[in-house]
Structure 1
Amino acid sequence: MLLTFLILILRISNLVNSQITFDNCPGDETINNTGAFPYAYTIPVITATVNSSGLAADVQITSTPAYFPGIVVNFGVNYVIILQYTAFANGETGVICEFSVTFLDTGDPYYPDCPTEPLVFNTSDSNTTETTWNEPTPTDASSGIISESAQTNPAETSPTNFPIGETNLSYTATDGSGNIGFCIITVHVIDIGDPIVTEYPNDTTIDTDSGQPTALYNWTAPVATDNSGTVVIFYKTYGVTFSSPSYNFPIGASGVTVNVTDLSGNSVSGTFTVTVKGIKQLSISTAQTKNKRLLLILPIPTFS
Protein backbone atom coordinates (compact mmCIF):
# COMPACT_ATOMS: atom_id res chain seq x y z
CA MET A 1 0.00 0.00 0.00
CA LEU A 2 2.85 2.41 0.86
CA LEU A 3 4.57 1.76 -2.50
CA THR A 4 1.35 2.36 -4.36
CA PHE A 5 0.81 5.57 -2.44
CA LEU A 6 4.33 6.80 -3.23
CA ILE A 7 3.92 5.98 -6.92
CA LEU A 8 0.66 7.92 -7.07
CA ILE A 9 2.35 10.92 -5.38
CA LEU A 10 5.26 10.64 -7.81
CA ARG A 11 2.96 10.48 -10.82
CA ILE A 12 1.05 13.55 -9.70
CA SER A 13 4.19 15.58 -8.99
CA ASN A 14 5.72 14.48 -12.30
CA LEU A 15 2.70 15.73 -14.17
CA VAL A 16 3.36 19.13 -12.65
CA ASN A 17 7.18 19.39 -12.58
CA SER A 18 8.62 17.08 -15.27
CA GLN A 19 9.18 18.12 -18.87
CA ILE A 20 8.76 14.51 -19.98
CA THR A 21 5.45 13.50 -21.56
CA PHE A 22 4.42 10.18 -23.02
CA ASP A 23 3.52 10.11 -26.69
CA ASN A 24 1.21 7.09 -26.62
CA CYS A 25 0.37 6.00 -23.08
CA PRO A 26 -2.87 3.98 -23.44
CA GLY A 27 -5.68 3.58 -20.98
CA ASP A 28 -6.78 0.32 -19.44
CA GLU A 29 -7.64 -2.26 -22.09
CA THR A 30 -9.95 -5.27 -22.18
CA ILE A 31 -9.39 -7.85 -24.91
CA ASN A 32 -12.48 -9.94 -25.65
CA ASN A 33 -11.07 -13.06 -27.19
CA THR A 34 -13.47 -15.43 -28.93
CA GLY A 35 -10.63 -17.63 -30.16
CA ALA A 36 -8.11 -19.93 -28.58
CA PHE A 37 -6.12 -19.42 -25.40
CA PRO A 38 -3.42 -18.70 -24.44
CA TYR A 39 -3.74 -15.34 -26.15
CA ALA A 40 -0.66 -14.01 -27.94
CA TYR A 41 -0.26 -10.37 -26.86
CA THR A 42 2.40 -7.99 -28.14
CA ILE A 43 3.84 -5.84 -25.34
CA PRO A 44 3.33 -2.24 -26.52
CA VAL A 45 6.22 0.03 -27.42
CA ILE A 46 5.69 3.27 -25.49
CA THR A 47 7.63 6.43 -26.31
CA ALA A 48 8.10 9.72 -24.49
CA THR A 49 9.49 13.17 -25.33
CA VAL A 50 11.29 15.87 -23.33
CA ASN A 51 9.24 18.96 -24.05
CA SER A 52 12.03 21.46 -23.36
CA SER A 53 14.42 19.93 -25.88
CA GLY A 54 12.20 17.85 -28.14
CA LEU A 55 14.49 14.88 -27.54
CA ALA A 56 13.21 11.35 -26.88
CA ALA A 57 13.24 10.16 -23.32
CA ASP A 58 14.47 6.77 -22.25
CA VAL A 59 11.43 4.52 -21.57
CA GLN A 60 11.74 1.30 -19.61
CA ILE A 61 9.23 -1.23 -18.32
CA THR A 62 9.44 -1.07 -14.54
CA SER A 63 6.59 -3.45 -13.69
CA THR A 64 7.18 -7.08 -12.74
CA PRO A 65 7.87 -9.15 -14.73
CA ALA A 66 9.89 -6.72 -16.83
CA TYR A 67 8.78 -7.66 -20.34
CA PHE A 68 10.67 -6.23 -23.30
CA PRO A 69 8.55 -3.89 -25.44
CA GLY A 70 7.60 -5.43 -28.75
CA ILE A 71 7.85 -9.07 -27.69
CA VAL A 72 4.90 -11.47 -27.85
CA VAL A 73 3.74 -12.98 -24.55
CA ASN A 74 1.02 -15.64 -24.09
CA PHE A 75 -1.66 -14.94 -21.49
CA GLY A 76 -4.32 -17.28 -20.16
CA VAL A 77 -8.07 -17.07 -19.74
CA ASN A 78 -9.37 -14.09 -17.73
CA TYR A 79 -5.84 -12.95 -16.86
CA VAL A 80 -5.11 -9.36 -15.84
CA ILE A 81 -1.70 -7.80 -16.23
CA ILE A 82 -0.59 -4.34 -15.11
CA LEU A 83 2.16 -2.81 -17.24
CA GLN A 84 4.19 0.09 -15.93
CA TYR A 85 6.54 2.17 -18.06
CA THR A 86 8.90 4.82 -16.64
CA ALA A 87 10.44 7.53 -18.79
CA PHE A 88 13.83 9.05 -17.83
CA ALA A 89 15.85 12.01 -19.12
CA ASN A 90 18.85 13.95 -17.84
CA GLY A 91 17.83 16.69 -15.49
CA GLU A 92 14.21 15.57 -15.41
CA THR A 93 12.21 13.58 -12.90
CA GLY A 94 11.01 10.29 -14.27
CA VAL A 95 7.34 9.91 -15.15
CA ILE A 96 5.20 6.80 -15.15
CA CYS A 97 2.72 5.34 -17.64
CA GLU A 98 0.69 2.55 -16.11
CA PHE A 99 -2.26 0.62 -17.52
CA SER A 100 -3.92 -2.77 -17.19
CA VAL A 101 -4.74 -5.36 -19.86
CA THR A 102 -7.50 -7.90 -19.18
CA PHE A 103 -7.85 -11.00 -21.36
CA LEU A 104 -11.45 -12.24 -21.34
CA ASP A 105 -12.81 -15.44 -22.84
CA THR A 106 -15.95 -14.39 -24.74
CA GLY A 107 -16.11 -17.31 -27.17
CA ASP A 108 -19.14 -19.58 -26.86
CA PRO A 109 -18.76 -23.35 -26.78
CA TYR A 110 -19.94 -25.01 -29.97
CA TYR A 111 -20.93 -28.40 -31.34
CA PRO A 112 -18.87 -29.20 -34.45
CA ASP A 113 -21.00 -32.27 -35.19
CA CYS A 114 -24.39 -30.56 -34.76
CA PRO A 115 -26.55 -31.43 -37.81
CA THR A 116 -27.39 -28.46 -40.01
CA GLU A 117 -30.36 -30.16 -41.69
CA PRO A 118 -33.37 -31.95 -40.18
CA LEU A 119 -33.09 -35.71 -39.64
CA VAL A 120 -35.88 -37.22 -41.75
CA PHE A 121 -37.74 -40.45 -40.98
CA ASN A 122 -40.77 -41.86 -42.82
CA THR A 123 -43.81 -43.69 -41.54
CA SER A 124 -46.69 -45.23 -43.49
CA ASP A 125 -48.48 -47.49 -41.02
CA SER A 126 -48.35 -45.62 -37.72
CA ASN A 127 -48.58 -42.08 -36.34
CA THR A 128 -45.10 -42.50 -34.80
CA THR A 129 -41.82 -44.07 -35.87
CA GLU A 130 -38.50 -44.94 -34.29
CA THR A 131 -35.85 -42.25 -34.75
CA THR A 132 -32.12 -42.28 -34.04
CA TRP A 133 -29.47 -39.59 -33.82
CA ASN A 134 -25.90 -39.09 -32.62
CA GLU A 135 -25.63 -37.04 -29.46
CA PRO A 136 -23.43 -34.02 -30.29
CA THR A 137 -20.21 -33.32 -28.40
CA PRO A 138 -19.35 -29.73 -27.44
CA THR A 139 -15.94 -28.12 -27.64
CA ASP A 140 -14.53 -24.73 -26.74
CA ALA A 141 -11.71 -22.65 -28.19
CA SER A 142 -10.46 -21.72 -24.72
CA SER A 143 -9.86 -25.42 -23.95
CA GLY A 144 -11.57 -24.84 -20.63
CA ILE A 145 -13.88 -27.13 -18.72
CA ILE A 146 -17.30 -27.50 -20.34
CA SER A 147 -20.43 -28.39 -18.43
CA GLU A 148 -23.23 -29.75 -20.59
CA SER A 149 -26.93 -30.28 -20.11
CA ALA A 150 -28.97 -32.14 -22.69
CA GLN A 151 -32.53 -30.86 -22.85
CA THR A 152 -34.95 -32.36 -25.32
CA ASN A 153 -38.63 -31.81 -25.92
CA PRO A 154 -39.78 -34.28 -24.88
CA ALA A 155 -36.78 -35.42 -22.81
CA GLU A 156 -35.64 -38.47 -24.74
CA THR A 157 -32.45 -40.18 -25.83
CA SER A 158 -31.72 -42.07 -29.03
CA PRO A 159 -33.43 -44.24 -30.15
CA THR A 160 -37.00 -43.20 -29.46
CA ASN A 161 -40.36 -42.92 -31.19
CA PHE A 162 -41.50 -39.47 -32.25
CA PRO A 163 -44.89 -38.51 -33.74
CA ILE A 164 -45.56 -37.25 -37.23
CA GLY A 165 -44.20 -33.72 -37.59
CA GLU A 166 -41.12 -31.96 -36.20
CA THR A 167 -39.53 -32.40 -32.78
CA ASN A 168 -36.58 -30.23 -31.68
CA LEU A 169 -33.82 -31.65 -29.48
CA SER A 170 -31.96 -28.90 -27.63
CA TYR A 171 -28.44 -29.33 -26.23
CA THR A 172 -26.70 -26.66 -24.12
CA ALA A 173 -23.02 -26.33 -23.16
CA THR A 174 -21.42 -23.80 -20.76
CA ASP A 175 -17.69 -23.15 -20.48
CA GLY A 176 -15.74 -22.04 -17.42
CA SER A 177 -16.24 -18.35 -18.28
CA GLY A 178 -20.02 -18.69 -18.39
CA ASN A 179 -20.29 -18.57 -22.18
CA ILE A 180 -23.16 -20.70 -23.52
CA GLY A 181 -23.45 -22.62 -26.78
CA PHE A 182 -26.38 -24.50 -28.29
CA CYS A 183 -27.13 -27.31 -30.68
CA ILE A 184 -30.66 -27.79 -31.99
CA ILE A 185 -31.37 -31.09 -33.74
CA THR A 186 -34.64 -31.22 -35.67
CA VAL A 187 -36.22 -34.65 -36.09
CA HIS A 188 -38.80 -34.67 -38.88
CA VAL A 189 -41.18 -37.63 -39.11
CA ILE A 190 -42.98 -37.66 -42.47
CA ASP A 191 -46.25 -39.49 -43.07
CA ILE A 192 -46.04 -41.15 -46.49
CA GLY A 193 -49.01 -43.50 -46.05
CA ASP A 194 -52.15 -42.92 -48.13
CA PRO A 195 -55.57 -43.08 -46.50
CA ILE A 196 -57.42 -46.37 -46.89
CA VAL A 197 -60.99 -46.22 -48.20
CA THR A 198 -62.97 -49.40 -47.63
CA GLU A 199 -66.15 -48.23 -49.33
CA TYR A 200 -67.06 -45.43 -51.74
CA PRO A 201 -70.68 -44.38 -52.40
CA ASN A 202 -72.44 -46.58 -54.97
CA ASP A 203 -73.81 -45.39 -58.30
CA THR A 204 -77.50 -44.54 -58.01
CA THR A 205 -80.52 -43.44 -60.05
CA ILE A 206 -83.17 -41.09 -58.63
CA ASP A 207 -86.21 -39.20 -59.85
CA THR A 208 -86.83 -35.50 -59.66
CA ASP A 209 -89.91 -34.20 -57.97
CA SER A 210 -92.70 -33.64 -60.38
CA GLY A 211 -91.78 -30.81 -62.72
CA GLN A 212 -88.46 -29.94 -60.97
CA PRO A 213 -85.14 -29.56 -62.89
CA THR A 214 -82.99 -31.03 -60.10
CA ALA A 215 -83.04 -33.64 -57.38
CA LEU A 216 -81.44 -33.36 -53.96
CA TYR A 217 -79.43 -36.47 -53.16
CA ASN A 218 -77.88 -37.28 -49.78
CA TRP A 219 -75.38 -40.10 -49.58
CA THR A 220 -73.33 -41.82 -46.91
CA ALA A 221 -69.76 -40.58 -46.63
CA PRO A 222 -66.99 -43.07 -47.54
CA VAL A 223 -65.53 -45.26 -44.84
CA ALA A 224 -61.86 -44.19 -44.60
CA THR A 225 -58.97 -44.59 -42.15
CA ASP A 226 -55.38 -43.30 -42.01
CA ASN A 227 -52.28 -44.05 -39.93
CA SER A 228 -52.26 -40.43 -38.74
CA GLY A 229 -55.75 -40.86 -37.34
CA THR A 230 -57.35 -38.02 -39.31
CA VAL A 231 -58.80 -37.78 -42.81
CA VAL A 232 -60.56 -34.97 -44.64
CA ILE A 233 -63.14 -35.79 -47.33
CA PHE A 234 -64.12 -33.51 -50.22
CA TYR A 235 -66.44 -34.02 -53.16
CA LYS A 236 -66.31 -32.39 -56.58
CA THR A 237 -68.86 -32.21 -59.37
CA TYR A 238 -69.45 -29.63 -62.11
CA GLY A 239 -66.33 -27.79 -60.93
CA VAL A 240 -67.74 -27.29 -57.44
CA THR A 241 -65.86 -28.64 -54.41
CA PHE A 242 -67.75 -29.25 -51.16
CA SER A 243 -67.50 -31.29 -47.98
CA SER A 244 -71.10 -32.18 -47.14
CA PRO A 245 -72.36 -35.45 -48.69
CA SER A 246 -75.33 -33.77 -50.32
CA TYR A 247 -75.96 -32.05 -53.67
CA ASN A 248 -78.74 -30.87 -55.98
CA PHE A 249 -78.10 -32.80 -59.18
CA PRO A 250 -79.58 -31.82 -62.58
CA ILE A 251 -81.43 -34.22 -64.85
CA GLY A 252 -79.04 -36.65 -66.45
CA ALA A 253 -75.93 -38.53 -65.33
CA SER A 254 -73.52 -36.64 -63.01
CA GLY A 255 -70.09 -37.90 -62.02
CA VAL A 256 -68.88 -37.15 -58.48
CA THR A 257 -65.20 -37.34 -57.50
CA VAL A 258 -64.44 -38.28 -53.90
CA ASN A 259 -61.09 -37.12 -52.50
CA VAL A 260 -59.83 -38.47 -49.17
CA THR A 261 -56.76 -36.66 -47.77
CA ASP A 262 -54.77 -36.91 -44.55
CA LEU A 263 -53.15 -33.98 -42.75
CA SER A 264 -49.82 -34.61 -44.52
CA GLY A 265 -51.36 -34.24 -47.96
CA ASN A 266 -51.45 -37.92 -48.88
CA SER A 267 -54.66 -38.61 -50.78
CA VAL A 268 -56.70 -41.17 -52.68
CA SER A 269 -59.78 -40.66 -54.82
CA GLY A 270 -62.72 -42.50 -56.30
CA THR A 271 -65.89 -41.70 -58.25
CA PHE A 272 -69.56 -42.52 -58.32
CA THR A 273 -72.41 -41.50 -60.62
CA VAL A 274 -75.81 -40.05 -59.81
CA THR A 275 -78.41 -40.30 -62.59
CA VAL A 276 -81.52 -38.13 -62.30
CA LYS A 277 -84.67 -38.98 -64.28
CA GLY A 278 -87.03 -36.11 -65.08
CA ILE A 279 -90.85 -36.40 -64.88
CA LYS A 280 -93.23 -34.12 -66.81
CA GLN A 281 -95.97 -32.59 -64.74
CA LEU A 282 -99.21 -34.20 -65.98
CA SER A 283 -100.90 -35.22 -69.23
CA ILE A 284 -104.59 -35.62 -69.84
CA SER A 285 -106.42 -38.17 -71.98
CA THR A 286 -110.02 -38.95 -72.21
CA ALA A 287 -111.88 -42.20 -72.70
CA GLN A 288 -115.42 -42.69 -73.89
CA THR A 289 -117.91 -44.76 -71.97
CA LYS A 290 -121.42 -45.53 -72.99
CA ASN A 291 -123.19 -42.62 -71.34
CA LYS A 292 -120.36 -40.40 -69.95
CA ARG A 293 -116.80 -39.25 -70.42
CA LEU A 294 -114.17 -40.66 -68.03
CA LEU A 295 -111.28 -38.28 -67.34
CA LEU A 296 -107.99 -40.05 -66.65
CA ILE A 297 -104.94 -38.27 -65.28
CA LEU A 298 -101.82 -40.25 -65.96
CA PRO A 299 -98.11 -39.36 -65.38
CA ILE A 300 -96.01 -39.82 -68.48
CA PRO A 301 -92.32 -40.35 -67.66
CA THR A 302 -89.75 -38.74 -69.90
CA PHE A 303 -86.19 -40.11 -69.96
CA SER A 304 -83.12 -38.22 -70.92
Structure 2
Amino acid sequence: MLMKQIIDAYEVLDSAYVTGKKVEEYLRTIQPDADITVYELKGPKGTTDMLKVRIPGSNGKIKGGSAPTIGLLGRLGGIGARPERIGFVSDGDGALAAVALAAKLLDMQNKGDVLDGDVFISTHICPNAPTAPHDPVPFMGSPVEMSQVNREEVSDELDAILSVDTTKGNRVINTRGFAISPTVKEGYILRTSEDLLDLMQITTGRLPYVFPLATQDITPYGNDLHHLNSVLQPCTATNAPVVGVAITAETMVPGCATGASHASDVEEAARFMLEAAKAFGRGQCKFYDEEEYARIQKLYGPMKHLQTLGEE
Protein backbone atom coordinates (compact mmCIF):
# COMPACT_ATOMS: atom_id res chain seq x y z
CA MET A 1 0.00 0.00 0.00
CA LEU A 2 1.24 3.49 -0.89
CA MET A 3 -1.19 5.72 1.00
CA LYS A 4 1.51 7.09 3.31
CA GLN A 5 3.74 7.90 0.34
CA ILE A 6 0.83 9.53 -1.52
CA ILE A 7 0.06 11.79 1.45
CA ASP A 8 3.71 12.61 2.13
CA ALA A 9 4.41 13.36 -1.54
CA TYR A 10 1.28 15.50 -1.80
CA GLU A 11 2.41 17.62 1.14
CA VAL A 12 5.71 18.25 -0.64
CA LEU A 13 4.15 18.99 -4.03
CA ASP A 14 1.25 21.16 -2.86
CA SER A 15 3.31 24.33 -2.54
CA ALA A 16 3.94 27.43 -4.59
CA TYR A 17 7.61 27.06 -3.67
CA VAL A 18 8.14 23.41 -4.58
CA THR A 19 11.10 22.59 -6.81
CA GLY A 20 12.70 19.44 -8.09
CA LYS A 21 15.38 19.86 -5.43
CA LYS A 22 12.78 19.88 -2.67
CA VAL A 23 11.35 16.63 -4.01
CA GLU A 24 14.87 15.19 -4.13
CA GLU A 25 15.42 16.24 -0.51
CA TYR A 26 12.22 14.43 0.47
CA LEU A 27 13.29 11.23 -1.30
CA ARG A 28 16.75 11.38 0.27
CA THR A 29 15.18 11.34 3.73
CA ILE A 30 14.16 7.80 2.78
CA GLN A 31 17.41 6.71 1.14
CA PRO A 32 20.27 9.25 1.32
CA ASP A 33 22.39 7.62 -1.40
CA ALA A 34 19.56 7.06 -3.88
CA ASP A 35 20.30 7.60 -7.59
CA ILE A 36 18.32 10.81 -8.12
CA THR A 37 18.90 13.43 -10.80
CA VAL A 38 17.25 16.85 -10.89
CA TYR A 39 17.85 19.59 -13.43
CA GLU A 40 16.07 22.51 -15.02
CA LEU A 41 14.53 22.10 -18.45
CA LYS A 42 13.80 25.26 -20.43
CA GLY A 43 10.95 25.48 -22.90
CA PRO A 44 9.16 28.10 -24.99
CA LYS A 45 6.85 29.08 -22.11
CA GLY A 46 9.16 28.84 -19.12
CA THR A 47 11.00 26.18 -17.16
CA THR A 48 10.31 23.02 -15.21
CA ASP A 49 12.46 20.72 -13.08
CA MET A 50 13.05 17.23 -14.43
CA LEU A 51 13.19 14.52 -11.77
CA LYS A 52 14.70 11.10 -12.50
CA VAL A 53 15.11 8.22 -10.06
CA ARG A 54 16.88 4.98 -10.95
CA ILE A 55 16.27 2.07 -8.61
CA PRO A 56 18.55 -0.91 -9.26
CA GLY A 57 17.12 -4.41 -9.19
CA SER A 58 18.79 -7.50 -7.78
CA ASN A 59 19.27 -8.85 -11.32
CA GLY A 60 18.97 -5.60 -13.24
CA LYS A 61 21.18 -4.16 -15.95
CA ILE A 62 22.72 -1.62 -13.57
CA LYS A 63 24.38 -4.51 -11.72
CA GLY A 64 25.20 -6.43 -14.89
CA GLY A 65 22.15 -8.67 -14.73
CA SER A 66 19.65 -9.68 -17.39
CA ALA A 67 16.26 -8.72 -15.94
CA PRO A 68 14.30 -6.20 -18.05
CA THR A 69 13.96 -2.54 -17.10
CA ILE A 70 10.59 -0.83 -16.74
CA GLY A 71 9.95 2.90 -16.96
CA LEU A 72 7.27 4.46 -14.75
CA LEU A 73 6.61 7.93 -16.13
CA GLY A 74 4.43 10.56 -14.49
CA ARG A 75 2.97 12.69 -17.29
CA LEU A 76 1.48 16.15 -16.80
CA GLY A 77 1.56 19.75 -17.86
CA GLY A 78 2.18 21.04 -14.36
CA ILE A 79 1.31 20.45 -10.72
CA GLY A 80 0.01 24.00 -10.36
CA ALA A 81 -1.40 26.80 -12.51
CA ARG A 82 -0.38 29.72 -10.34
CA PRO A 83 -1.26 32.55 -10.19
CA GLU A 84 -4.44 31.72 -12.12
CA ARG A 85 -5.35 28.85 -9.77
CA ILE A 86 -4.32 28.43 -6.14
CA GLY A 87 -3.08 25.00 -5.08
CA PHE A 88 -2.37 21.56 -6.54
CA VAL A 89 -4.26 20.94 -9.79
CA SER A 90 -5.89 17.77 -11.07
CA ASP A 91 -3.26 17.50 -13.80
CA GLY A 92 -0.58 16.94 -11.16
CA ASP A 93 -1.74 13.43 -10.26
CA GLY A 94 0.75 11.85 -12.67
CA ALA A 95 3.64 13.51 -10.84
CA LEU A 96 2.11 12.59 -7.49
CA ALA A 97 1.93 8.92 -8.48
CA ALA A 98 5.52 8.93 -9.78
CA VAL A 99 6.99 10.57 -6.66
CA ALA A 100 5.02 8.23 -4.39
CA LEU A 101 6.25 5.22 -6.38
CA ALA A 102 9.85 6.37 -6.01
CA ALA A 103 9.37 6.83 -2.27
CA LYS A 104 7.77 3.40 -1.88
CA LEU A 105 10.42 1.56 -3.89
CA LEU A 106 13.24 3.23 -1.97
CA ASP A 107 11.54 2.33 1.32
CA MET A 108 11.07 -1.25 0.15
CA GLN A 109 14.79 -1.53 -0.56
CA ASN A 110 15.56 -0.26 2.93
CA LYS A 111 13.39 -3.09 4.26
CA GLY A 112 15.00 -5.79 2.13
CA ASP A 113 12.43 -6.02 -0.67
CA VAL A 114 14.31 -5.49 -3.94
CA LEU A 115 12.71 -5.97 -7.35
CA ASP A 116 14.45 -8.21 -9.88
CA GLY A 117 14.69 -5.62 -12.65
CA ASP A 118 15.77 -1.99 -12.60
CA VAL A 119 13.04 0.65 -12.34
CA PHE A 120 13.35 4.08 -13.92
CA ILE A 121 10.95 6.72 -12.61
CA SER A 122 10.63 10.18 -14.10
CA THR A 123 8.35 13.20 -13.98
CA HIS A 124 8.69 16.96 -13.90
CA ILE A 125 7.89 19.55 -11.25
CA CYS A 126 6.30 22.87 -12.26
CA PRO A 127 4.04 24.72 -9.78
CA ASN A 128 3.11 27.54 -12.18
CA ALA A 129 2.33 26.00 -15.58
CA PRO A 130 0.07 27.78 -18.08
CA THR A 131 -3.43 26.60 -18.99
CA ALA A 132 -4.52 25.81 -22.54
CA PRO A 133 -7.89 25.75 -24.33
CA HIS A 134 -9.16 22.27 -25.19
CA ASP A 135 -12.47 20.61 -25.97
CA PRO A 136 -14.48 19.56 -23.96
CA VAL A 137 -12.72 21.15 -20.95
CA PRO A 138 -9.54 23.24 -20.59
CA PHE A 139 -6.19 21.45 -20.48
CA MET A 140 -3.19 22.31 -18.42
CA GLY A 141 -0.48 23.63 -20.67
CA SER A 142 3.21 23.13 -20.06
CA PRO A 143 6.24 25.42 -20.05
CA VAL A 144 8.09 22.85 -22.16
CA GLU A 145 7.26 20.96 -25.33
CA MET A 146 6.17 17.33 -25.12
CA SER A 147 8.99 16.37 -27.49
CA GLN A 148 11.47 17.83 -24.98
CA VAL A 149 10.08 15.71 -22.15
CA ASN A 150 10.15 12.62 -24.37
CA ARG A 151 13.83 13.19 -25.13
CA GLU A 152 14.58 13.47 -21.41
CA GLU A 153 12.52 10.50 -20.20
CA VAL A 154 12.42 7.92 -22.97
CA SER A 155 15.63 6.01 -23.64
CA ASP A 156 16.82 2.71 -25.06
CA GLU A 157 17.38 1.33 -21.56
CA LEU A 158 13.61 0.93 -21.09
CA ASP A 159 12.13 -2.40 -22.14
CA ALA A 160 8.56 -1.33 -21.36
CA ILE A 161 6.83 1.82 -20.16
CA LEU A 162 3.83 2.57 -17.97
CA SER A 163 2.79 6.19 -18.42
CA VAL A 164 0.44 7.60 -15.77
CA ASP A 165 -1.54 10.77 -16.39
CA THR A 166 -4.69 12.45 -15.13
CA THR A 167 -7.29 11.72 -17.83
CA LYS A 168 -10.52 13.31 -16.70
CA GLY A 169 -11.29 15.86 -19.41
CA ASN A 170 -13.25 13.56 -21.70
CA ARG A 171 -16.51 11.68 -22.22
CA VAL A 172 -15.02 8.28 -23.11
CA ILE A 173 -13.81 7.08 -19.68
CA ASN A 174 -16.80 7.36 -17.39
CA THR A 175 -15.60 5.78 -14.18
CA ARG A 176 -13.67 7.00 -11.16
CA GLY A 177 -10.38 5.33 -10.36
CA PHE A 178 -8.05 4.38 -13.18
CA ALA A 179 -8.12 2.66 -16.54
CA ILE A 180 -5.39 1.23 -18.74
CA SER A 181 -4.88 1.44 -22.48
CA PRO A 182 -4.19 -1.27 -25.01
CA THR A 183 -0.48 -1.71 -25.59
CA VAL A 184 1.00 0.67 -28.15
CA LYS A 185 4.20 -0.21 -29.98
CA GLU A 186 5.83 1.54 -32.93
CA GLY A 187 2.59 2.92 -34.31
CA TYR A 188 0.44 -0.16 -33.69
CA ILE A 189 -2.39 -0.29 -31.17
CA LEU A 190 -2.15 -3.89 -29.99
CA ARG A 191 -4.30 -6.18 -27.90
CA THR A 192 -4.63 -5.18 -24.26
CA SER A 193 -2.18 -7.15 -22.10
CA GLU A 194 -3.91 -10.02 -20.32
CA ASP A 195 -1.21 -9.96 -17.64
CA LEU A 196 -1.88 -6.30 -16.90
CA LEU A 197 -5.63 -6.94 -16.82
CA ASP A 198 -5.03 -9.70 -14.27
CA LEU A 199 -2.91 -7.38 -12.12
CA MET A 200 -5.54 -4.65 -12.34
CA GLN A 201 -8.23 -7.04 -11.13
CA ILE A 202 -6.05 -8.22 -8.27
CA THR A 203 -5.01 -4.76 -7.08
CA THR A 204 -8.45 -3.15 -7.36
CA GLY A 205 -10.70 -6.09 -6.51
CA ARG A 206 -12.89 -5.05 -9.44
CA LEU A 207 -13.26 -5.83 -13.11
CA PRO A 208 -10.66 -3.92 -15.15
CA TYR A 209 -11.35 -0.77 -17.14
CA VAL A 210 -9.71 -0.25 -20.53
CA PHE A 211 -9.95 3.11 -22.25
CA PRO A 212 -10.33 3.49 -26.02
CA LEU A 213 -7.64 4.92 -28.25
CA ALA A 214 -7.97 6.70 -31.56
CA THR A 215 -5.08 6.68 -34.01
CA GLN A 216 -4.42 10.37 -33.43
CA ASP A 217 -3.97 9.72 -29.69
CA ILE A 218 -0.73 7.84 -30.40
CA THR A 219 0.72 10.48 -32.74
CA PRO A 220 3.02 13.26 -31.49
CA TYR A 221 1.75 16.54 -30.15
CA GLY A 222 2.27 19.37 -32.63
CA ASN A 223 0.48 17.88 -35.65
CA ASP A 224 -2.75 19.86 -35.08
CA LEU A 225 -4.77 16.70 -34.39
CA HIS A 226 -7.02 16.16 -31.39
CA HIS A 227 -5.45 14.03 -28.64
CA LEU A 228 -7.20 12.50 -25.65
CA ASN A 229 -4.27 13.84 -23.61
CA SER A 230 -0.54 13.19 -23.22
CA VAL A 231 -0.79 9.78 -21.57
CA LEU A 232 0.45 7.91 -24.68
CA GLN A 233 3.00 10.47 -25.85
CA PRO A 234 5.97 8.32 -24.75
CA CYS A 235 4.99 5.83 -27.48
CA THR A 236 6.05 8.37 -30.12
CA ALA A 237 9.67 8.24 -28.97
CA THR A 238 10.47 4.58 -28.34
CA ASN A 239 10.41 1.09 -29.82
CA ALA A 240 9.40 -0.32 -26.43
CA PRO A 241 5.77 -1.21 -25.67
CA VAL A 242 3.86 1.53 -23.87
CA VAL A 243 0.69 1.27 -21.79
CA GLY A 244 -1.18 4.29 -20.51
CA VAL A 245 -2.48 4.39 -16.94
CA ALA A 246 -5.25 6.97 -16.88
CA ILE A 247 -6.46 8.39 -13.57
CA THR A 248 -10.12 8.94 -14.27
CA ALA A 249 -13.43 10.42 -13.10
CA GLU A 250 -17.11 9.83 -13.90
CA THR A 251 -17.51 13.47 -14.88
CA MET A 252 -15.40 15.81 -16.97
CA VAL A 253 -12.86 17.59 -14.77
CA PRO A 254 -10.55 20.29 -16.15
CA GLY A 255 -6.86 19.60 -15.70
CA CYS A 256 -6.49 23.03 -14.11
CA ALA A 257 -9.14 22.32 -11.45
CA THR A 258 -8.00 22.36 -7.82
CA GLY A 259 -9.45 20.17 -5.08
CA ALA A 260 -10.02 17.44 -7.67
CA SER A 261 -7.35 14.91 -6.69
CA HIS A 262 -8.49 11.75 -4.92
CA ALA A 263 -5.76 10.12 -2.86
CA SER A 264 -7.39 6.70 -3.04
CA ASP A 265 -7.53 6.77 -6.85
CA VAL A 266 -3.91 7.87 -7.25
CA GLU A 267 -2.81 5.27 -4.70
CA GLU A 268 -4.69 2.53 -6.54
CA ALA A 269 -3.05 3.44 -9.85
CA ALA A 270 0.40 3.63 -8.26
CA ARG A 271 -0.08 0.30 -6.49
CA PHE A 272 -1.03 -1.32 -9.79
CA MET A 273 2.11 0.12 -11.40
CA LEU A 274 4.24 -1.20 -8.55
CA GLU A 275 2.85 -4.71 -8.93
CA ALA A 276 3.37 -4.53 -12.70
CA ALA A 277 6.99 -3.52 -12.13
CA LYS A 278 7.52 -6.48 -9.80
CA ALA A 279 6.05 -8.94 -12.28
CA PHE A 280 7.76 -7.44 -15.34
CA GLY A 281 11.21 -7.70 -13.79
CA ARG A 282 10.61 -11.38 -13.11
CA GLY A 283 9.40 -12.10 -16.62
CA GLN A 284 5.87 -12.72 -15.36
CA CYS A 285 4.15 -9.83 -17.15
CA LYS A 286 4.11 -9.45 -20.93
CA PHE A 287 2.98 -6.20 -22.48
CA TYR A 288 2.41 -7.83 -25.89
CA ASP A 289 2.70 -11.10 -27.79
CA GLU A 290 5.99 -11.09 -29.71
CA GLU A 291 4.88 -13.70 -32.25
CA GLU A 292 1.65 -11.90 -33.02
CA TYR A 293 3.50 -8.61 -33.34
CA ALA A 294 5.91 -10.17 -35.84
CA ARG A 295 2.92 -11.53 -37.75
CA ILE A 296 1.10 -8.20 -37.94
CA GLN A 297 4.25 -6.48 -39.17
CA LYS A 298 4.73 -9.15 -41.82
CA LEU A 299 1.15 -8.74 -43.01
CA TYR A 300 0.82 -4.96 -42.88
CA GLY A 301 4.32 -3.54 -42.64
CA PRO A 302 5.78 -0.98 -40.25
CA MET A 303 3.64 1.82 -38.80
CA LYS A 304 6.47 3.97 -37.48
CA HIS A 305 5.31 6.92 -39.57
CA LEU A 306 2.64 7.41 -36.89
CA GLN A 307 5.47 8.24 -34.47
CA THR A 308 6.36 11.27 -36.61
CA LEU A 309 4.63 14.56 -37.34
CA GLY A 310 3.71 13.20 -40.76
CA GLU A 311 3.82 14.89 -44.13
CA GLU A 312 1.74 17.83 -45.35
Same fold per superposition (TM over 0.5):
no
Q: Provide TM-score, normalisation by structure 1.
A: 0.17
Greater share of residues in strand: 1
Greater share of residues in helix: 2
Rg larger in structure: 1
